[in-house]
Chains A and B, each alone.
Chain A
Amino acid sequence: MLSGWGRWPVVPGHELLSEDLAAVTAGATLTRGLGRSYGDASLPAAAGARVAGSRLANRVIGFDPDTGILRAEAGLALHDVNRTFLPRGWFVPVTPGTSFVTLGGAVASDVHGKNHHSAGTFGRHVRRLRLRVGTGAIVEASPEVEPDLFDATVGGMGLTGHVLDLDVTLRRVPSPWITGETEYVPDLDTLIEKLLEAGRTWPYTLGWMDALGAGGRGRGVIYRGRWADAAEAGGRALTWPREISFPMAAPYWAMSPFGLRWFNELVLLRYGRGVKRALMHPQTFFYPLDTLLDWNKAYGKRGFTQYQCVLPHRSGLPVYRKVFQTIAARGGAPYVVVIKDFGEEGPGRLSFPCPGITFSIDMPVDGGRTQGVVDAVNDIVAAEGGRVYLSKDAFTRAEHYRAMDPRVDAFNAIRRRWDPDGRIRSALSVRLLGDAA
């Protein structure tokens, strides 16, 4: 059985794991990495379809310390890149909130992170890709060579071909530590104001909102960070925390609104009021949940979804509030809400980020209710000219998606050029992009 990180949907099938990605992708309909996309992006279009798994193809091919360019096989995880290169003064240029993402997956989702306003998406730092396209041919693509194929592959959800290896420029850092600040904010207005303000001087920013407590008015915490300089770090050596596994699927009542309310109160209590500054471990700052492996099991057997959308700046607070009111009115439980401002849109043809405010909202899957919540919020997002993040999505309907993203037809046209028979597809491309199952 295969599923994404949300453990919903679950489909029959298995991935073909091999160190030899070029061999195992021949004849495959899709390649998946560590399966960290939440919904159906890494799932086969039809039962029995051949899905290659890239995570054993994790060799470093070469690293140039003069330029910071890392050439590696597509299955290498950011986790491994950081542990190998951070002690030598290099970090991935862009990282999502988990390091358990392969380089190939980071390209396919064109991932963004706390530094989107200052560094763009992951794809901006990729110099070259080698991929097996739908015809079976192996093709090199870069911003200069086959630029259409390159731009469609960046953020293309793995639908343009199987990425075999790639070049990405790592970021030079003055120390392996983060100088971080947290600040309590009383409501959503202040949160967004402070987030935008922080982005003008800090390379890494993020907002966390308590959507449950205090009537959902949006108390929260702002995180700001930058790499500590040598003096601030004081030569402290970096050791990585030991990871622990979540043992089994939690019972359905474990993640109840009641429990989460207290969890949120504890988080807020920890950060207190006002501004706190500290030298932070990069794991704590970038990947707070990575230390607890398989934390998705906390949501139990029914699984969960993370709904992430971006709304343009012109939408403003009344629309943002309407999103949370709509979720609450339909009985959705927004357990974890993360807020971030996006910078400029990149060249990725189907890439998610565009200027505006993005909200990512974790919700347990709850029968038909979740579909109703997503439909209702998608009405708002489509009307406002926003869009949803396909790497998180499991519930959006094709009509909504097409209304939000007019780029689909141009993207599909590039796909067809490299895959005239439509061999490469996923459960997501069947659901949203009009592919045959």
Chain B
Amino acid sequence: MKRIAIVGGTKGIGRAVARLLAVRGDRVALLGRDAADLAASAADLAARAPGDPPATAVLDLARPETYDAALDEAIRRLGGLDAVVITAGAFGTQEALEADAAARERVLSTNFTDTIQFCEAARARLLAGGGGTLCVLGSVAGDRARKPVVLYGATKAGLAYYLQGIDLRHRDAGLRVVLVKPGFVRTGMTAGLPEPPFAANPEDVAPAIVRALDRGTPQIYVPAIWRLVMLVIRWLPGAVMRRVKF
């Protein structure tokens, strides 16, 4: 039985991960902006996993002043904290973000500044409790700059750099960092986008994420085929990347 706080656990991949954890008997706290949405997801988990209902706490990534209260509440309700999972994020296609400064600001700050600010707070709490796992969703888009996802990819690349760094710096103190790089997953975030090959559903990728969380695997691709795909894409020469559309 682990005590796990999830940011973004009411939707998409986070929802699927929260269900797996709750059903196998972990104690889960859902952190998010909308109290009604948190309560509805807590009821869903409670119906699926008889036992103590999951905890909820209001957290807004864009407002660092909400971090302490939310983490305190999670630790109090769970009786400690073994892992923090962050699946929240924002997406926009390159065209949309180039056309809309407000959307650009939202994607850049949510995925980079806000997520890292919260990671810092969560990391400090985990280390204060003797260590633990910080599991964060990056993206295959952070592996190589590509035309359709320049800004989004840049936020995820920056986030990956940060996570690699805290792994180096705090591993000996007991911090385990898990960076998950999903390929195309059919969620509200990707709705309406043309589907590339190897598209997956949230429930398809959740088991691998939970496995990585348990083992403290520093980096995984989900579905696993994306490791190979990105290996190839990372090795393509710049001249080729300038020509291709993806």
Which single residue of chain B is at the shortest CB-CB distance from A14?
A: B192
Are A56 and B187 also in contact (CB < 8 A) when A14-B192, A16-B192, A19-B15 are?
Answer: yes
With the chains together, A111 CA to B44 CA distance in Å? Answer: 25
Residue from B47, B186, B187 having most chain A Cβ neighbours under 10 A: B47
Please indicate the chain B residues that have their CB under 8 angstroms from the CB of A61 in the complex: 40, 43-44, 47
Which single residue of chain A is at the shortest CB-CB distance from B10?
A: A19
Within 8 A of B (CB), among A170-195: none
With the chains together, A16 CA to B190 CA distance in Å? Answer: 10
A147 at the interface (CB under 8 A from B): no
Decide if the interface of chain B is mainly helix, strand, loop or mixed: helix
Q: How far is the CB of A32 from chain B (nearest CB, A)?
A: 13
**Do B191 and A59 touch (CB < 8 A)?**
no
With the chains together, A60 CA to B47 CA distance in Å? Answer: 7
Please indicate the chain A residues that have their CB under 8 angstroms from the CB of B10 in the complex: 19
Instruction: Name the contact of A62 in the complex, choosing from B12, B43, B187, B192 (C-beta under 8 A).
Output: B43
**Do B188 and A56 touch (CB < 8 A)?**
yes
With the chains together, A61 CA to B40 CA distance in Å? Answer: 7
**Do B44 and A19 touch (CB < 8 A)?**
no
**Do B191 and A18 touch (CB < 8 A)?**
yes
B11 at the interface (CB under 8 A from A): yes
**Do A60 and B44 touch (CB < 8 A)?**
yes
Please indicate the chain B residues that have their CB under 8 angstroms from the CB of A84 in the complex: 23, 47-48
**Do B43 and A19 touch (CB < 8 A)?**
no
With the chains together, A62 CA to B23 CA distance in Å? Answer: 16
Please indicate the chain B residues that have their CB under 8 angstroms from the CB of A63 in the complex: 47
Please indicate the chain B residues that have their CB under 8 angstroms from the CB of A15 in the complex: 191
Within 8 A of A (CB), among B37-55: 40-41, 43-44, 47-48, 50
Q: How many interface residues does chain B have, given as a range? A: 10 to 19
**Do A17 and B43 touch (CB < 8 A)?**
no
With the chains together, A88 CA to B47 CA distance in Å? Answer: 11
With the chains together, A19 CA to B15 CA distance in Å? Answer: 10
With the chains together, A14 CA to B194 CA distance in Å? Answer: 9
With the chains together, A19 CA to B32 CA distance in Å? Answer: 15
Instruction: Name the contact of A59 in the complex, choosing from B12, B23, B41, B188 (C-beta under 8 A).
Output: B41
A residues engaging B (CB < 8 A)?
14-19, 53, 56, 59-63, 84, 88
Q: How far is the CB of B164 from chain A (nearest CB, A)?
A: 31
With the chains together, A63 CA to B41 CA distance in Å? Answer: 14
Are A17 and B188 also in contact (CB < 8 A) when A59-B41, A61-B40 are?
Answer: yes
Taking A17-B186, A59-B44, A84-B47 as known contacts, 15 extra A-B pairs with beta carbons closer than 8 A to each other, sorted by chain A number, are A14-B192, A15-B191, A16-B191, A17-B187, A19-B12, A19-B15, A19-B188, A59-B41, A59-B43, A60-B44, A60-B48, A61-B43, A62-B47, A63-B47, A84-B23
- Against A, the Cβ 8 Å flags (1 = close, 0 = not) of B135-147 are 0000000000000
Which single residue of chain A is at the shortest CB-CB distance from B50?
A: A88
Q: How far is the CB of A151 from chain B (nearest CB, A)?
A: 28
Residue from A15, A17, A63 having most chain B Cβ neighbours under 10 A: A17
Residue from A53, A59, A60, A62 having most chain B Cβ neighbours under 10 A: A59
Please indicate the chain A residues that have their CB under 8 angstroms from the CB of B187 in the complex: 17, 56
Please indicate the chain A residues that have their CB under 8 angstroms from the CB of B186 in the complex: 17
Please indicate the chain A residues that have their CB under 8 angstroms from the CB of B50 in the complex: 88
Please indicate the chain B residues that have their CB under 8 angstroms from the CB of A60 in the complex: 43-44, 47-48
- Against A, the Cβ 8 Å flags (1 = close, 0 = not) of B178-218 are 00000000111001100000000010000000000000000
Please indicate the chain A residues that have their CB under 8 angstroms from the CB of B192 in the complex: 14, 16
**Do A53 and B191 touch (CB < 8 A)?**
yes
Residue from B23, B40, B41, B188 having most chain A Cβ neighbours under 10 A: B188
Residue from A53, A60, A61, A63 having most chain B Cβ neighbours under 10 A: A60
A-B contact pairs, 15 of them (CB 8 A): A15-B191, A16-B191, A16-B192, A17-B186, A17-B187, A19-B10, A19-B11, A19-B12, A56-B188, A56-B202, A60-B48, A61-B47, A62-B43, A62-B47, A84-B47
